[in-house]
Amino acid sequence: MKNIQYILLDLDGTLTDPMIGITRSVQHALAFFGIKVHNLEELCPFIGPPLIDSFKEFYHFTDEQAQIALEKYREYFATKGIFENNEYEGIKDFLQSQVDQGRILMLATSKPEPFAKRILDHFKLTHYFTFIGGSTLDGSRSTKTDVIKYVLSTNKITDLSRVIMIGDRKHDIEGAKNNGISSVGVLYGYGSRTELEHAGADFIVEDVDGLKSLLL
């Protein structure tokens, strides 16, 4: 992996574990529609993909209902859910090891950019990154494919053989493939080995130490 110069990283399920904050925010949104979910683990599939897509897929919401659900989600997330979150053990050491090797780290998340920046600041992770790329609040840039394209184009990265994307869900892997870059799937997040293999991950690692070993 000596040729890798740029590392794009997902946020949720890759750098931090947002399970409580995201699922409680979804729970809050669903309650507005009279849908009661008591077991937060049932809402874990919402972690990773664009939220509007998930509301439509899992609860068969119309476009209009999904947009309202997103607004209700953000009501809770912006003030409480954003910090109901934990940094994965060893992630700072991994990021520092990559910076020490002279690599350039960039965030590529489906989470709205303002929220992503607040989370990185909260966990004191911001200084590891030269660029923070996320979705837009108005939905004009929402898919992981679009976010990765935005990160690459904004930073004028043209030698795609020197770029790798790291994430825990199929959307990370598919987004990387759609942009012509390699990908690593991590199993400590919210995607299974089957999901990552089916999406076409170039590499799959079990834990943060596995990431560090892979990228030596």
Domains in the chain, ordered, with CATH?
6-17+85-214 (3.40.50.1000), 19-83 (1.10.150.240)
d(CA 108, CA 165): 8
CA–CA separation, 135 and 106 (whole Å): 14
The DSSP output letter for 156 is T
In three-state secondary structure terms, 198 is helix
Question: Do 150 and 175 contact (CB within 8 A), yes or no?
Answer: no
**Known active-site residue 10:** yes
The two tokens of residue 187 are: 């199993």
pLDDT above 90 (res 140)? yes
pLDDT recorded at residue 188: 98
Token couple for 216: 């030596």
d(CA 181, CA 46) in angstroms, rounded, equals: 25
Read off the pTM: 0.94
Residue 1 confidence (pLDDT)? 84
Residue 192 and residue 187: Cα distance in Å, rounded?
A: 6
Name the percent of the chain in helix, strand, coil, to the closest 5. 50, 20, 30
CB-based contact 19:71 (threshold 8 Å) = no
Q: What is the pLDDT of residues 67-116, one digit of tens each?
A: 999 999 999 999 999 999 999 999 999 999 999 999 999 999 999 999 99
Q: Do 82 and 115 contact (CB within 8 A), yes or no?
A: yes
Catalytic pick among 10, 146, 168, 172: 10
pLDDT in the model for residue 60: 98
180 torsion bin: left (phi>0), alpha (psi -120 to 50), beta (else): left
Supply the pLDDT for residue 109.
96
Rounded to the nearest 10 degrees, how much is the dihedral formed by the CA atoms of 170, 171, 174, 179?
-150
Per the listing, tokens 């991590």 go with 186
The rounded distance, in Å, linking the Cα atoms of 6 and 163 is 5
Question: What mean pLDDT is reported for the chain?
Answer: 97
Residue position matching structure tokens 């990185």: 120
Query: How confident is the model over 144-173, as pLDDT tens digits?
Result: 999 999 999 999 999 999 999 999 999 999
pLDDT digits (tens, 9 = 90+) for 26-63: 999 999 999 999 999 999 999 988 999 999 999 999 99
pLDDT at 2 over 90: no
